[in-house]
């Protein structure tokens, strides 16, 4: 049977009419028997499967506030680290109680609501290099494994190049075509206006899709051809699912519209397969359902947001820079091996690309971007 494709370009932002049409496809009385692809759960039971109405009024419960004494301890650890070349919990030592609070951030990300915010730093007090070290040092106590954030698999910390900075709204996604277990975002400057972070439970999304549109689950679990928008000799298109199994009680979303639609001047290669009608419906379903069950997390200068990028989708409102304040956010990909979820197949390959060795002898060497340099934009991933 022929696969139905769409000849016209699929927009990154679906229209209001598309949204109305989508909600009309949701049955008012879903069938009692849920049919999902073999091996997938019919329903995920987990604190990660939250509803926005249940947690929006208590976001402060997911914050870790650094008091004055904590900041002194962090700055002391920064001073101790300067005698070393590799950041770890040993070279960035913190008092036991503070270290335990940061470890609880990891537990919240993997087994709680899937996100937490560490507040209390003042980035304006530190140099660019010191801010990177502070971020990495605190992150090491949350999740000790660091992932590569660039396509060359060299850089462990990303200062997004100006060309990659998206000022408009972004759709809900789980990062790039391969991404993190835990994503860390350190807000150095928040800009003049807007830029609020939106979060939505992927587990809750999965449950709704399994209950009302199991055909979408099936489509998401099948391979998709994703454009890399790079030199195909170095970075050929990927053929991976957007939805992966993780044991018998978890799923992992690896979702983003832009490799299928293009975004911000990036045009999907017309030689690649045209998105099918089922794929467009699946992308729209993710966007509309995620937005309907989303919360806004206010962030300001000095906040470090940790997000389970496997189970929580994120988006961002548009923002505007001021004359004296330009939005500046550092990003890291993190992993706690003691809490990591089991994966196989393409998801395992993606994980190894990020967290595995990058040298022929099995070693791992990291570079750190503290300032933008020409050429970084070629290797930097694109969000959306």
Stronger pLDDT, 294 or 168, i.e. the higher one: 294
Q: Which residue has the higher pLDDT, 4 or 331?
A: 331
Which pLDDT score is estimated for 83? 72
Give the per-residue pLDDT at 251.
95
Amino acid 147: pLDDT: 85
Average pLDDT, integer, range 33-61:
92
Provide the pLDDT for residue 222: 96
Give bridge partners of residue 368 from the DSSP assignment.
Answer: 157
Choose the most confident range, by mean pLDDT, from 182-196, 204-218, 221-235, 360-374: 204-218
pLDDT given for residue 11 in this prediction:
85
Which contiguous run of DSSP H or E holds residue 182?
strand 182-189
Backbone φ and ψ for 159, nearest 5 degrees, come out as -105, 105
Weakest-pLDDT range from 155-159, 206-210, 246-250: 155-159
Q: What is the mean pLDDT of the chain?
A: 84
Task: Yes or no: say if 178 and 254 are a contact pair by the CB < 8 Å rule.
Answer: yes
The region of weakest confidence among 136-150, 201-215, 287-301 is 136-150
Taken in order of first residue, the domains within the chain and their CATH numbers are 51-379 (3.60.130.10)
Cα–Cα distance, 174 to 126 (Å, whole number)? 30
Confidence label for 103 from pLDDT (cuts 50, 70 and 90)? very high
Q: Where are the beta strands (DSSP E) in 209-341?
A: 223-226, 238-241, 243-246, 250-253, 294-297, 304-308, 312-316, 319-320, 328-335
| pLDDT at residue 370 tops 70 | no
Give DSSP secondary structure letters for 157-170: EB---GGG---S-E
Would you say residue 329 has pLDDT above 60?
A: yes
Q: Is the pLDDT of residue 176 over 60?
A: no
Q: Give pLDDT, residue 164.
A: 44
Q: Tens digits of per-residue pLDDT, 250-286?
A: 999 989 998 999 887 888 999 999 999 999 999 999 9
pLDDT tens-digit map of 121-159: 999 999 999 999 999 999 999 999 988 765 554 445 454
Angle among Cα 62, 67, 72 to the nearest 5 degrees reads 130
d(CA 71, CA 260): 44
Mind listing the pLDDT tens digit for each residue in 310-325?
Answer: 999 998 776 555 566 6
pLDDT of res. 178: 53
Distance of CA 380 to the CA centre of its chain: 15
Buried b (16+ CB within 10 A) or exposed e, 27-36: eeeeeeebeb
Distance CA 33, CA 381 (A): 41
User: How far apart are the C-alpha atoms of 284 and 6, rounded to whole Å?
Assistant: 14
Indicate the pLDDT class of residue 338, thresholds 50, 70 and 90.
Answer: very high
- Does pLDDT of 205 surpass 70? yes
pLDDT given for residue 2 in this prediction: 42
Q: What number is the average pLDDT over the span 92-117?
A: 98
The mean pLDDT value for 6-18 works out to 76
- Range list of H helices, the chain: 16-24, 52-55, 68-81, 96-111, 128-142, 202-212, 214-221, 258-261, 277-292, 345-355, 376-379
Chain segment 158-167, per-residue pLDDT in tens: 544 444 444 4
- Name the pTM for this structure: 0.86
Euclidean distance between CA atoms 314 and 6, whole angstroms: 27
Tokens (6 digits) for 268: 């999907």
Rounded Cα distance, 137 and 146, in Å: 11
CA-CA distance, 93 to 80, in Å (whole number)? 8
Q: Tokens standing for 349?
A: 């390959």
Q: How far is CA 327 from CA 18, 166, 170, 185, 263, in A?
A: 32, 10, 15, 12, 20
Task: Write down the pLDDT at residue 143.
Answer: 96
pLDDT band at residue 49 under the 50/70/90 scheme: very high
Q: Is a pLDDT exceeding 90 seen at residue 375?
A: no
16-20, 27-31, 206-210: least confidently modelled range: 27-31
| Calpha distance 140→88 (Å, rounded) | 6
What b-and-e string marks burial along 213-224, b requiring 16 or more CB atoms within 10 Å of the CB?
bbbbbbbbbeeb
Mean pLDDT across the stretch 366-375? Answer: 58
Confidence band, pLDDT 50/70/90 cuts, at residue 364:
low
């Amino acid at each position: 049977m022929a696969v139905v494709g769409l000849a016209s370009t699929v927009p990154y932002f679906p229209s209001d009419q598309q949204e109305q049409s989508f909600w009309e496809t949701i049955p008012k009385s879903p069938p009692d028997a849920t049919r999902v692809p073999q091996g997938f759960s019919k329903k995920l039971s987990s604190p990660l499967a939250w509803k926005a109405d249940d947690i929006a009024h208590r976001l402060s419960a997911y914050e870790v506030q650094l008091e004055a004494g904590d900041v002194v301890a962090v700055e002391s650890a920064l001073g101790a680290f300067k005698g070393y070349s590799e950041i770890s919990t040993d070279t960035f030592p913190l008092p036991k109680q503070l270290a335990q609070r940061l470890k609880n951030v990891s537990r919240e990300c993997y087994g709680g609501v899937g996100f937490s915010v560490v507040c209390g730093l003042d980035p304006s007090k530190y140099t660019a290099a010191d801010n990177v070290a502070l971020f990495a040092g605190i992150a090491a106590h949350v999740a000790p494994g660091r992932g590569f954030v660039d396509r060359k698999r060299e850089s462990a910390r990303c200062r997004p190049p100006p060309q990659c900075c998206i000022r408009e709204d972004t759709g809900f996604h789980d990062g790039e075509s391969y991404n993190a277990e835990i994503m860390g975002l350190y807000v150095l400057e928040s800009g003049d206006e807007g830029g609020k972070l939106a979060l939505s439970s992927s587990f809750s999304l999965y449950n709704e899709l399994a209950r009302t549109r199991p055909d979408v689950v099936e489509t998401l679990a099948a391979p998709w051809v994703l454009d890399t928008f790079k030199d195909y000799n170095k970075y050929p298109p990927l053929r991976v699912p957007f939805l992966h199994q993780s044991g018998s009680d978890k799923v992992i979303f690896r979702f983003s519209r832009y490799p299928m639609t293009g975004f911000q001047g990036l045009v999907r290669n017309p030689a690649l397969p045209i998105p099918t009608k089922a794929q467009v419906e699946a992308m729209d379903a993710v966007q509309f359902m995620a937005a309907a069950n989303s919360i806004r997390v206010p962030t300001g200068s000095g906040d470090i947001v940790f997000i389970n990028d496997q189970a929580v989708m994120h988006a961002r409102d548009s923002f505007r820079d001021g004359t004296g304040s330009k939005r500046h956010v550092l990003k890291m990909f993190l992993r706690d091996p003691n809490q990591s979820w089991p994966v196989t197949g393409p998801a395992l390959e993606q994980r190894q690309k990020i967290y595995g060795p990058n040298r022929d002898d099995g070693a791992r060497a990291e570079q750190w971007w503290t300032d933008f340099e020409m050429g970084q934009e070629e290797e930097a991933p694109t969000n959306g």
